[in-house]
Amino acid sequence: MAEKLLLKKRNIEGALLDALADTPVVIIQGARQTGKSTLATMVAEKVNCKQLTLDDPQLLDAAKNDPLTFVEQYENGTLVIDEVQRCPELLRMVKLSVDRYRRPGRFLLTGSADLLHIAGANESLVGRAETIRLYPFSMGEIGGFKEDFITRLLDDDAIKSLPGTKAARRGDYAELVERGGYPDVVLREKNRRSAYLRNYIAGVFDHDAAVVSNLSHLDKLSKLFSTLAATTSGIYVQAAAARAVGIPETSMGGYIKLLKDLWLIHELPAWGRNIAKRVAGKPKYSVADTGIACQVGNLHSAFLSDVTGGEAFGPLLESFVVAELFKQQSWSETDFRLYHFHDRESREADIVVELPNGKIICLEVKASRTISRKDFGTLLYLRELLGERFHLGIVLYTGGEVQGHGDRLYSAPISAVWGA
């Protein structure tokens, strides 16, 4: 079962092969243990390649001692280099090599950090590279299908055919939230997941952060992440976060950026009808994987599924949906961007999806099994404000039915986001 799950086809594979066909450098980026090396190996079987990993100490030494020779050792095929962030100097050599001999599919790189932002990688691959983001398993990948919720909503009648759910209980969603999507967590028995996640978290903060950053207070990065996990999907208040962690407020930007570069958090910018309002608005940060958030906060599905766990469950459930949409964004047939909405009158929309034509889809995520008219308050406001630009407003909830609530307003099961 474990081997079969780990070798599941990833929904991003087609985009990866397309990129290798017309781009000199393709980079698979994502958090550690999301399956980057496995995906690279599966793709490598379909192209002429040589695969190397810098987890091998001897290869890492060779890369550091003569980086140009290292990157030019397989010019007639695709050179696959895993965990390239361990030797940032290679990125500059890759650039030089591509500038000498530009051919599609020369390099396939993987990294557990945003390779274009890590310390020491001061040579840009812009115009030479395409980045493929690999997240933990999506719900569709676990189920063996490719989900595309936003594209489905572009069909005016599609909302009426969204799948309901037989698993409408709060506890079923709590189980998904506690598990998250990391491959090694999904394949483990429930009582073995915590041990894996504890070691995973320690590895990220004790080792990976130092490899890719030279910030002064890396010992406080774990506490900052715990603080953000405890307030996941909330409006980010920099001064409060700085006080809680003990990092100077003026330095916080670097630590937030590092957590993003390590793929541990997602940023949802504020949405406004003009760019100035978006830039000025406070972002929301949500954990990229709710399983890690639950481990950090010692939260278990039994607690989350109980009504007393509602204060923690709601934000985590919203973060779970946000994570699924970011995953789908990687392969969706529709180019869309994700925001949140919050105005001076405290009207809020959890997720604002902006489409290429300027139209908007607004999503609210509720942990309850029933909904009322008040749950549509902000959606009603935005429908009136935007007119024809307002495509749909949907309240996602833990109930099992799709229902209409007036012009372009619906409620639907949360599982509709990944339903086949």
Q: How far apart are the first and last CA of the chain?
A: 22
What was the pLDDT predicted at 117? 58
CB-based contact 63:90 (threshold 8 Å): yes
Mean pLDDT of the chain, nearest integer:
89
Which range among 15-29, 81-95, 312-326 shows the weakest confidence by mean pLDDT? 81-95
What is the percent of the chain where pLDDT is above 90? 66
pLDDT per residue as tens digits for the range 201-256: 999 998 888 877 888 889 999 999 999 999 999 999 999 999 999 999 999 999 99
**What are the strands, taking DSSP E only, across 54-119?**
78-82, 107-111
What was the pLDDT predicted at 52? 92
pLDDT per residue as tens digits for the range 190-203: 889 999 999 999 99
What average pLDDT score do residues 121-133 get?
77
CATH of 2-133, one of 3.40.630.190, 3.40.350.10, 3.40.50.300, 1.20.1430.10: 3.40.50.300
Task: Enumerate the H helices of 310-395 as residue ranges.
Answer: 310-329, 377-386
| pLDDT winner (highest mean) among 153-167, 277-291, 295-309, 405-419 | 405-419
What was the pLDDT predicted at 207? 86
* Half-sphere exposure at residue 39, Cβ-oriented, CA atoms within 13 angstroms: 31
pLDDT per residue as tens digits for the range 308-343: 767 899 999 999 999 999 999 999 999 999 999 998
- Residue 51's H or E segment, with its range, is strand 49-53
Of 346 and 162, the one with more pLDDT: 346
pLDDT grade for 63, boundaries at 50, 70 and 90 = very high
User: Of 287, 281, 215, 280, which Cα lies nearest the Cα of 248?
Assistant: 215
pLDDT grade for 68, boundaries at 50, 70 and 90 = very high
CB-based contact 105:23 (threshold 8 Å): yes
Its pTM stands at 0.91
* Residue at token pair 């715990």: 226
pLDDT grade for 9, boundaries at 50, 70 and 90 = confident
CB-based contact 289:180 (threshold 8 Å): yes
pLDDT grade for 43, boundaries at 50, 70 and 90 = confident
Indicate the domain borders of the chain.
Answer: 2-133, 139-181+213-417
The strand order across the sheet containing 403-404 reads: 337-342, 348-354, 360-365, 390-397, 409-413, 403-404
CB-based contact 371:398 (threshold 8 Å): no
Helix (H/G/I), strand (E/B), else coil: 269: coil
Q: How far apart are CA 313 and CA 178, in angstroms?
A: 10
What was the pLDDT predicted at 116? 59
What was the pLDDT predicted at 1? 42
Query: Which residues lie closer than 8 Å to 273 by C-beta, 6 or more apart?
Result: none
